[in-house]
Amino acid sequence: MSSLSAASVETPAVTAGAAEQKPLKPCCACPETKKVRDACIIEKGEENCRDLIEAHKECMRALGFKI
């Protein structure tokens, strides 16, 4: 039960702290598009996943990354 409470309390603190103190790391940005992109590249090869690669790049750019 205490682990649930700690997780609930910790999540807002991490979000607030990340916004104020530490910038978002590229490895942690856009996990949804990253996961789909990586799975496609593994299964079909990079040349067949251009649309997913571009979607991930757009997401990263929207968060302020220069890609």
Those residues whose C-beta lies under 8 Å from the C-beta of residue 61, and which sit 6 or more positions away, are 67
Those residues whose C-beta lies under 8 Å from the C-beta of residue 60, and which sit 6 or more positions away, are 26, 29, 30, 67
**Token reading at 67:** 């890609």
Q: Is 28 annotated as a binding residue?
A: yes
Q: Is 27 annotated as a binding residue?
A: yes
Instruction: List binding-site positions.
Output: 27-28
Instruction: List binding-site positions for Cu cation.
Output: 27-28
